[in-house]
C-alpha cells in the first residue's frame, strides 16, 4: 500500500500503449481475417495467422529501429509483415488485399473494461495519453472506434524510432511537458514496460494473458490483470 500511495501522490499522467493494451488486437484481427482466409481456401487457424503477422511486424519494427537508417511508417512495416505471412502460408494475394488487412488495425475496439476505467482515472485527475508505434493518421482514424478522447495521442513518428527506443519516451515526455518520473506508462507488453522504465518512467503491466513478466531488472511498479484493477489501484 505504501508504494500505491506514493504513486498516487506523484503520478500526473498515465500514458498507454494502444495496440494490444487499449484495443484488443489479437481478437479483433482474428475476427477480421477469418472470412478472408476462408475465402482463400486456407485451412489453417486464423488466430495463428494473426500471431505470425504480429510477431513478424514486431521483429521488423525492431530491426528498423536498430538499423537507425530513418523511420519506416508502421503501415509499411505492417504491409511487409502481412505479405510475408501470406507467402509463408501459400496464400495468393493482391496489394489491395494487403492494404485492406493492415487497415483493419484502425478499426480495433477496446477491451470491455477499458473505457469505464479510463473515465474513472480521468475523474481522479490524471491526464491520459497514448504513446503508440502507430502512424499519426492510423491513430487519428482509430479515435471513433475506441470511443474515448485522450488528452494527447503521440505517435513514435515524432521521435523517429519504434518503441522501446528511449527516444520515443523522451519525445513523449517533452510533448507532455512532464518529468518522466510523473508519467506512468501502461502496457500489455514486457518490452514496452522495460523501455519506459529504463527511461525513468514508472510502469504498470497489464497482465491479461497471465504470463510472467520476466526477470529483467526494470520490473513494473504495478502488475494488474486489467484496466479495472488499474483504476482500483490508482483512484
**Could you tell me the CATH number of the domain that includes residue 200?**
3.40.50.1000
> Any bridge partners for residue 14, and if so which?
128, 184
Please tell me whether residues 133 and 217 are part of one structural domain.
yes
Whether 1 has a pLDDT exceeding 70, the answer reads no
| Total domains, the chain | 2
How far is the C-alpha of 113 from the C-alpha of 97, rounded, in Å? 32
In the numeric block, which cell numbers belong to residue 126? 490524471
Select from 107, 129, 163 the last residue of a domain: 107
The Cα–Cα gap between 220 and 187 comes to 10
Edge-to-edge order in the sheet of strand 203-206? 152-155, 127-132, 13-16, 183-187, 203-206, 222-224
Listed residues 71, 86, 107: the one ending a domain: 107
Judgement on whether residues 57 and 9 belong to the same structural domain of the protein: no
One domain for residues 65 and 87: yes
- Could you tell me if 60 and 134 lie in one domain? no
Is residue 54 located within the same domain as residue 127? Answer: no
Q: What is the mean pLDDT of residues 42-62?
A: 97
Shared-domain flag, residues 125 and 9:
yes
Confidence label for 2 from pLDDT (cuts 50, 70 and 90):
confident
Q: What is the pLDDT of residues 178-208, one digit of tens each?
A: 999 999 999 999 999 999 999 999 999 999 9
Q: Would the pTM count as exceeding 0.75?
A: yes
Domain boundary among 81, 107, 133: 107
Residues 118 and 184 in one domain: yes
Let me know if 84 is exposed, middle or buried by CB neighbors in 10 A (0-12, 13-18, 19+).
middle
C-alpha cell at 76: 509499411
Q: State the DSSP string of 170-208.
A: HHHHHHHTS-GGGEEEEES-HHHHHHHHHHT--EEEE-T
Do 74 and 113 have their domain in common? no
Task: Judge if 44 and 115 occupy the same domain.
Answer: no
Q: Please give the residue range of the domain that contains residue 31.
A: 26-107
Mean pLDDT of the chain: 97
User: Could you tell me the CATH number of the domain that includes residue 100?
Assistant: 1.10.150
Lowest-confidence region among 3-7, 72-76, 227-231: 3-7
Amino acid at each position: 500500500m505504501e508504494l500505491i500511495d506514493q504513486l498516487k501522490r506523484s503520478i500526473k499522467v498515465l500514458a498507454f500503449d494502444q495496440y494490444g493494451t487499449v484495443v484488443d488486437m489479437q481478437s479483433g484481427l482474428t475476427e477480421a481475417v477469418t472470412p478472408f482466409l476462408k475465402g482463400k481456401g486456407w485451412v489453417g487457424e486464423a488466430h495463428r495467422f494473426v500471431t505470425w503477422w504480429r510477431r513478424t511486424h514486431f521483429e521488423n519494427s525492431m530491426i528498423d529501429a536498430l538499423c537507425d537508417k530513418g523511420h519506416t511508417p508502421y503501415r509499411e512495416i505492417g504491409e511487409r509483415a502481412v505479405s510475408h505471412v501470406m507467402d509463408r502460408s501459400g496464400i495468393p494475394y493482391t496489394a489491395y488485399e494487403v492494404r485492406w488487412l493492415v487497415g483493419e488495425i484502425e478499426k480495433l475496439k477496446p477491451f470491455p473494461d477499458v473505457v469505464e476505467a479510463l473515465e474513472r482515472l480521468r475523474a481522479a485527475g490524471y491526464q491520459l495519453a497514448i504513446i503508440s508505434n502507430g502512424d499519426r493518421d492510423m491513430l487519428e482514424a482509430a479515435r471513433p472506434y475506441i470511443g474515448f478522447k485522450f488528452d494527447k495521442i503521440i505517435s513514435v513518428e515524432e521521435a523517429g524510432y519504434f518503441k522501446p527506443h528511449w527516444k520515443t519516451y523522451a519525445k513523449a515526455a517533452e510533448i507532455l511537458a512532464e518529468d518522466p518520473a510523473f508519467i506512468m506508462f501502461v502496457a500489455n507488453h514486457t518490452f514496452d514496460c522495460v523501455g519506459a522504465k529504463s527511461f525513468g518512467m514508472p510502469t504498470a503491466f497489464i497482465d491479461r494473458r497471465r504470463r510472467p513478466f520476466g526477470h529483467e531488472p526494470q520490473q513494473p511498479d504495478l502488475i494488474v490483470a486489467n484496466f479495472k484493477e488499474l483504476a482500483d489501484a490508482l483512484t
